[in-house]
Amino acid sequence: DDFPAKQTVADVAQAAHFLAYVVIANRRYTDLFEWGQRSVPLSLAAEIQHRLLPGAFTCEAGQFTLAAWLQPAGEIGGDTFDFSLDRDALHLSMTDAMGHTMDAALLATVLVGGLRNARRRGVELAEQARLANDALAEQAGESQFVTGLLVRIDLLRATAEIVNAGHPPPLRIRAGEVDQLDLEADPPFGVRLGRAYRVQSLPLQVGDRLIFVTDGMLERDAALMNIGAILTASIDMHPREAVQDLTRAVLKASGGQLRDDATALCLDWHGGPPRDRDASSGANR
């Protein structure tokens, strides 16, 4: 009985949509929105790291919905995620540079720049990985490297191609069951110049949810969590809420003091032919 009238809900949704445009249009000219998003002061390394992230953390399309979140540890600058949507493909990456200093931020900068440059050349996934690895290997010192997952989803074939460079494999929720994908791991990026990387294929089914994480979601205090139970409990949440829910669990397990960045990306596969997103309000309304 207390639920607002339909027209009231529509008015609030439209107002929120207009406000979102204001934020998007103005955030490049002010630090106010950046301040509002921060929960801890960032080191210079973490500041550099945040400049590597995409302009939006959520993407909704007809065939998929994705959302990601990076919870910084304040003094660490190693984790990144990225995505780009083409006409027939969705590109994703998640990386974790070794170290907890400025070196990690610089390694991440070189690798993300290399991955974006290779992707924008239009080369295949294996070649993207090779070019980015070589760019990093030329700059990295001894024992410096970056783990990562590089993904290309063919929207027409409903198939994901994945390169695993020494990174924790993704988790998949299918029919209510959480499983870790059985992916072969190649060495991390930057270990050896000229290294070739294997591309592994993963067919997608309607209803699949893929969760990509860095080791900050799995190790140290986070190792005490039952991540499978957390993901199962959040199965009906929007991906944006699911990654936030997982992040809150990690923060709780660590007593609010993370010792490593904790990053998660959630992808829901809706399937079907390429089409506009299904939304009651927004850009396609």
For residue 254, give both structure tokens: 């660590």
How many Å apart are CA 108 and CA 105, to the nearest integer? 5
Count of the separate structural domains present in the chain: 2
Q: Which residues touch 221 (CB under 8 Å, ≥6 apart)?
A: 250, 253, 254, 255, 259
Q: Within a domain: residue 279?
A: no
Q: Within a domain: residue 125?
A: yes
Please check whether residues 26 and 42 belong to one and the same domain.
Answer: no
Which pLDDT tens digit goes with each residue over 217-248?
887 666 778 889 999 999 999 999 999 999 99
Please check whether residues 80 and 221 belong to one and the same domain.
Answer: yes
* pLDDT score for 170: 96
Please give the full DSSP string across 174-199, using - where no structure is assigned.
Answer: ETTEEEE-----BPPBTSSTT-----
Please check whether residues 8 and 63 belong to one and the same domain.
Answer: no
**Residue 224's domain spans which residues?**
38-269
Q: Within a domain: residue 278?
A: no
Please check whether residues 48 and 112 belong to one and the same domain.
Answer: yes
Please check whether residues 23 and 114 belong to one and the same domain.
Answer: no
Q: Within a domain: residue 87?
A: yes
Does residue 265 contact residue 81 with C-beta atoms inside 8 Å?
Answer: yes
Please check whether residues 82 and 160 belong to one and the same domain.
Answer: yes
Note the Cα 182 to chain centre separation in Å: 20
Q: Within a domain: residue 91?
A: yes
Check whether 216 has a pLDDT greater than 60: yes
108: nearest Cα among 54, 148, 70: 148
Please check whether residues 143 and 81 belong to one and the same domain.
Answer: yes
Q: Within a domain: residue 254?
A: yes
C-alpha distances in angstroms, 219 versus 17, 267, 284? 38, 22, 41
Q: Is 202 helix (H, G, I), strand (E, B) or coil?
A: strand
* The residue type at 125: L
Quick one: pLDDT band at residue 285, thresholds 50, 70, 90? very low
What does the angle CA 147 – CA 219 – CA 96 come to, to the nearest 5 degrees? Answer: 20
Q: Within a domain: residue 69?
A: yes
> End-to-end CA distance of the chain, in Å?
28
Instruction: Provide the percentage of residues in the chain whose pLDDT is more than 70.
Output: 91
Which pLDDT tens digit goes with each residue over 265-276?
999 999 987 776
C-alpha distances in angstroms, 128 versus 121, 133, 231? 9, 8, 31
Please check whether residues 32 and 86 belong to one and the same domain.
Answer: no
Q: Within a domain: residue 253?
A: yes
Does residue 138 contact residue 125 with C-beta atoms inside 8 Å?
Answer: no
Check whether 28 has a pLDDT greater than 80: no
Q: Is 7 left (phi over 0), alpha (psi -120 to 50) or beta?
A: alpha
Higher-scoring residue by pLDDT: 123, 25: 123
Mean pLDDT of the chain: 88
Please check whether residues 4 and 47 belong to one and the same domain.
Answer: no
How many Å apart are CA 171 and CA 168, to the nearest integer? 9
Please check whether residues 29 and 128 belong to one and the same domain.
Answer: no
Instruction: Provide the percentage of residues in the chain whose pLDDT is more than 90.
Output: 60
Please check whether residues 32 and 66 belong to one and the same domain.
Answer: no
Which pLDDT tens digit goes with each residue over 53-73?
998 899 999 999 999 998 877
CATH number at residue 229: 3.60.40.10
Q: Is 90 helix (H, G, I), strand (E, B) or coil?
A: strand
